[in-house]
Structure 1
Amino acid sequence: MWGSGVLVGGSGQAAVLALHRATPDEALRRRSSLLTLLEHVLLCYRLLLTSPIWVRYFLSMPGSFIPMSMAGFYFACKMHLVYNQMGMIFAAAGVACQSEALFGKYASSDEVMEVGNSCAICQENMEQPVKLSCNHIFCNGCILEWFERECTCPMCRAEIKPKGLTSHSDGTTGLLPQIF
């Protein structure tokens, strides 16, 4: 039963790769954010896939109190996992729609002018400037490329974490069976 979630995940990712042709660097990042969103949607689907089977199993057990309490406990645990996964989906959707930056927030033009319009990484005018939690500002493309190697600020080496979003940049799906 868990295998169908993996099959859907692979075919969904293949569809995104086929439909969203990437040419320049920005298009590659856009495709990566779409794949991350798809990955989190499919992980939520995998969480919900086995629920009816287990609830039916618990309720078919003899007796009334123990099976009902086991089904209730299972349902509470499953809803907690789904709630956490929905938070990841909303974070991934915010990044895919580019209303939020994956790391930090988009800097205003006043903040960019305050530090000079030059990115410390590429030494050119900033494109889509992002302000990190340590208040340093970089081009969105430059800082995303930097974070592929190291998750610290290039200026002060402060550890920077994404906004609660695990990025699956290679588009892989975990093959761990969905037992419960």
Structure 2
Amino acid sequence: MAGDRHGHAEESAEEQAGTPAPALSELKAVVGWLQKGLPFILILLAKVCFQHKLGIAVCIGMASTFAYANSTLREQVALKEKRSVLVVFWILAFLTGNTLYLLYTFSSQQLYNSLIFLKPNLDRLDFFDLMWIVGIADFVLKYLTIALKCLVVALPKIILAVKSKGKFYLIIEELSQLFRSLVPIQLWYKYIMGDDPSSSYFLGGILIIMYSLCKSFDICGRVGSVRKALKVLCTPQSYGVRATSQQCSEAGDICAICQAEFREPLILLCQHVFCEECLCLWFDREKTCPLCRSVTVETLRCWKDGTTSAHFQVY
């Protein structure tokens, strides 16, 4: 009898092992449905892309323009005094031309109104129109941010030292992100409330309160970042003490960053010597010594290398 029970237990275990789990069966069913419906999904996707081909093309063009200008400006910042003023002004002219052409092409919609917290000229404001206006405004503000940084890059050393320019890149970027977060507010308010008088004002009021709470936390965080950037701007930075001629000789009289003779050398706590200007630019990107990787600055400040955030400000 014990053997029979053992045999029946083994058979039931084999049956359970051979039966697929309910979750696995449902997953296979979903995969099978997607395989059968894939051609129809592609047809629907192609139709949607064709209907919005102009908007997709404009978004791709603006994103490509931003990526090119952002990377080119960052390269010029890294070149320090060797940066090309012609390249910097080319970036300015390129961004200005793209912005003016875009606003002129869609001048009937008055998209520039959203930059000054006014409603564009649209008969109705649905979700796709909202995303269109918010996206265009965000890219234009990114272009203006890069343009301001170009002006800082172009300033000669006699007006603004290279080692101090990173602070201005930081404050420009933080102010830009704060303003970009404020621009979509009035558009979202109008979209949530709606233009249809038959829409529910009760639901719209609740949604606006929830949106306002979420937005207030975001704005408070950005205001805090601006305050920190202003503190960095007003506080003189010192990464080390002035190195003596003997210390420079012991270091080989060559800066390990620029591979040239020391200019206004500083010695760090780890006893490594570098040019003061080279150190300032290095710590705009890193927080450790270039040679021994010991931590020299406590916090790493982003955006001091001239980079502009690619974050898409949706709400």
TM-score bucket of the superposed structures, by smaller chain = 0.5 to 0.7
Q: Distance in 1 between matches of 2:309 and 2:293?
A: 34
| Unaligned ranges ≥5, structure 2 | 1-132, 256-261
- Aligned-residue RMSD, C-alpha: 3.9
Choose which of 137, 141, 144 in structure 2 pairs with 1:4. Answer: 137
Is the CA contact (8 Å cut-off) linking 1:12 and 1:38 kept in structure 2? yes
Q: Distance in 1 between matches of 2:304 and 2:285?
A: 15
Correspondence for 2:309 = 173
Q: Distance in 2 between matches of 1:173 and 1:146?
A: 20
Moved more, 48-57 or 2-11: 2-11
Post-superposition CA distance 1:31-65 (Å, at most 9, x none): 2321221111111111111111112222334141x
Matched, 1:32 2:195: no
Correspondence for 1:157 = 294
Higher relative contact order (CA 8 A, sep 6+): 1
Greater Rg over alpha carbons, structure = 2
Letter matched to residue 179 of structure 1: V
Matched, 1:87 2:224: yes
Q: Which has the higher helix share?
A: 2
Shift of 1:160: 4.3
Moved more, 55-64 or 30-39: 55-64
Distance change (3 Å), C-alpha of 1:130 and 1:85: farther
Q: Secondary structure at the match of 1:35?
A: helix
| Unaligned ranges ≥5, structure 1 | 132-137
Correspondence for 2:125 = none
- Between the two proteins, the alignment pairs up a number of residues equal to 162
Q: TM-score under structure 2 normalisation?
A: 0.40
Please list, as runs of the form range in 1=range in 2, the aligned pairs for 1:39-54 lying within 5 A after superposition: 39-54=173-188
Choose which of 47, 57, 62 in structure 1 pairs with 2:200. Answer: 62
Is the CA contact (8 Å cut-off) linking 2:174 and 2:222 kept in structure 1? yes
Post-superposition CA distance 1:57-111 (Å, at most 9, x none): 22334141x32222111111111111111111122222233x253xxxx58xxx9
Letter matched to residue 178 of structure 1: Q
Identity percentage of aligned residues: 19
Q: Distance in 2 between matches of 1:125 and 1:168?
A: 21
Please list, as runs of the form range in 1=range in 2, the aligned pairs for 1:118-133 lying within 5 A after superposition: none
Q: TM-score under structure 1 normalisation?
A: 0.64
